[in-house]
Amino acid sequence: MADLPTHTIVFEILTRLPAKDVGRSKSVCKQWYALLSTQDFVRTHCSRSVVSSNQRVLLIDDLTCSVRPIICNNNDYGPSSIVTFPFHHQNNDVSILSHLNGLLCVCLNHTYELLLWNPTTTAFKHLIIDGWSHITQGF
């Protein structure tokens, strides 16, 4: 594998994996995380997906969050729909830790709060973890 060019691994092999496996592959190393997070990779992966219709991508930047449909025939994004975070946050404060069937596990970095968020309905729930306050006090 070390002899294969990174581009071949990323764009010819990983773009053909199911999204769940791509998510797992992001934890291999920082380089893979960066490559698998690029817009080019997302577009190519979605265009090769078995289910190409009705796919959306969630884009989060400093102040806004938007959902954009993916147009598979030209690997581009359609017009965006702005999604307002339904919870209090600060700039660069929202980290997506995990996802499952459209639900996102979100961490608010300034408070270490964990939330379960559905960006489609904007519903969210705070996740309470016993003993968490003892863990975060050490930071």
Residue that has been written with the tokens 């050490």 in this structure: 138
Contact (CB, 8 A) for 117 and 130: no
Position 30 in a domain: no
Predicted confidence at residue 136, as pLDDT, reads 47
Altogether, the residues listed in the chain come to a count of 139
Looking at the chain, the number of H-run helices and the number of E-run strands are 5, 8
Domain count, the chain: 1
Average pLDDT over every residue of 24-37: 86
- Of the two residues 19 and 61, the one the predictor is more confident about is 19
pLDDT tens digit sequence for 65-114: 777 776 655 556 677 777 777 777 766 677 888 878 778 888 888 888 88
Q: How far is CA 79 from CA 23, 45, 61, 71, 76, in A?
A: 25, 19, 16, 10, 10
- Of the two residues 122 and 54, the one the predictor is more confident about is 122
Position 134 in a domain: yes
The domain of 106 spans 88-139
Position 42 in a domain: no
User: Which residues, other chains included, contact 35 with Cβ-Cβ below 8 Å and sequence gap of 6+?
Assistant: 6, 10, 41
Predicted confidence at residue 138, as pLDDT, reads 42
Q: What pTM was estimated for this model as a whole?
A: 0.48
